[in-house]
Homo-oligomer: A and B are copies of this chain.
Amino acid sequence: MRASAYKVSMRSPEDVSEAALLLDQQTFRAEDVIAILGKTEGNGGVNDYTRGLATLCFQLLLARRAGLPVEQVARRIPIIWSGGTEGLMSPHATIFVREPDRGAPPGEKRFAVGAAYTRDLLPEEFGTRVHAEVAADGVRAAITDAGIEAAADLHFVQIKTGALTTERIAAARVRGRDVVTTDTGKSMAYGRAAAAVGIGLATGEIALARAADVILKDLAVASDVASTSSGVELMNCEVIVLGNARGSTSELVMAHTVMRDALDAPAVREALRRAGLRVECELDQRDRPRLVNVFVKCEPDLSGATRGRRHVMFEDSDVGYTRHIRAAVNAVVAAVTGDPMCYVSAGAEHQGPPGGGVVAVLARV
């Protein structure tokens, strides 16, 4: 199997023109698209409908080009958006494609990608251990789909899950069931947390016995390859797994490390180097064309201070903290790579060390 990836810019959430052009040019076929992961320019919050709009537009494009009904595309290809392109961050999608091999595997591990869907969660299951276990099953299915053999070859596991809305909360109550929170904004954190714990269950980083106790409680329990986001537009888990596999004939390779905090530029450099790119203070000009994308999770330091300096992110009633931190971390990454069009998603509960998160690099060999 030959996995590849194409980063396309978007002039608005409905702009699929760059992807359409690649299809026109037969760079890849619509039938071979396995997943899409991107950033849209909404607020990243409960009422961020840019995600749904971008999903629908990409589904319509792929359906038309593959000659399939939209519904079938929607059931087969996870299209996951993290909302919020604050600061310099540039809206874009990374389109993952799997094609037949064009030769034998090169002997070294190369890029592999897999995807899976889970069942819908009930509002009362949302954010609980059940949610984590459902997510874990999805991750295992996606690992199998990717042909990845060992947990050490996983470099970035993305789950998009749902969120509670006023209507869903009311629906649970009508049935006499309770929900983990009645705050719709807070429910997004529960969704991210449960899915991340699910990733840790699947990778072996988190023990099943702990799953019930830790969700949003013990944030030191984490998966270092997890990236989860949540949005009202769904209630299941959509999973995309990125890593390397022995059988892959891809011309790409994946690597990762974790940022210890929001200012951890050395970790960004290290991840680039692990992917085989030359870096001094910045990514070497000669290797910039080799970089496909950087995928990062982040969050404000929970203590209210970064390196001992107070931040105001948790006190701001006008602008949500996820908006603040995305702007900052995108800038730290882009100052190293020279490219503000990278994937930085906020809300890193159980995803890497508290105050930090995974930084994964996809590069041409």
Contact = CB atoms under 8 A, between A and B. Distances in A.
A265 to B, nearest CB: 4
Nearest to A43: B317
Interface string A321-348: 0011101111110110011110000000
A87 B49 contact: no
A128 interface: no
A86 B324 contact: yes
Interface residues of A, number: 75
Contact of A41 (B85, B315, B320): B315
Q: Is the interface of A mostly helix, strand, loop or mixed?
A: loop
Given A170-B304, A282-B265, A317 B315 contact: no
Which of A304, A313, A331 has the most chain B CB atoms closer than 10 A to its own CB?
A: A331
Copy tally for this chain in the complex stands at 4
Contact of A53 (B49, B262, B332): B49
Contacts of A105: none
A57 to B, nearest CB: 8
A33 interface: no
A303 B45 contact: no
A338 B328 CA distance: 13
Contact of A281 (B232, B280, B325, B341): B280
Interface string A253-283: 0000000001101100100000000001110
A330 B307 CA distance: 14
Interface string A302-320: 0111110111111111111
A14 interface: yes
Contacts of A314: 166, 184
A310 B263 contact: no
A50 B50 CA distance: 7
A69 B2 CA distance: 36
Interface stretch (A88-96, A145-153, A206-214, A357-365): A88-96
Interface in A220-258: 232
Interface of A: 9, 11-14, 41-50, 52-53, 56-57, 85-91, 165-167, 170, 183-186, 232, 262-263, 265-266, 269, 280-282, 303-307, 309-320, 323-325, 327-332, 334-335, 338-341
5 contacts: A43-B318, A56-B56, A87-B331, A319-B319, A331-B332
Given A46-B317, A90-B311, 20 more contacts: A14-B49, A42-B49, A47-B317, A48-B317, A53-B53, A85-B311, A86-B327, A87-B324, A88-B263, A88-B325, A90-B305, A263-B335, A265-B282, A265-B335, A280-B281, A306-B340, A307-B339, A328-B330, A328-B331, A335-B335
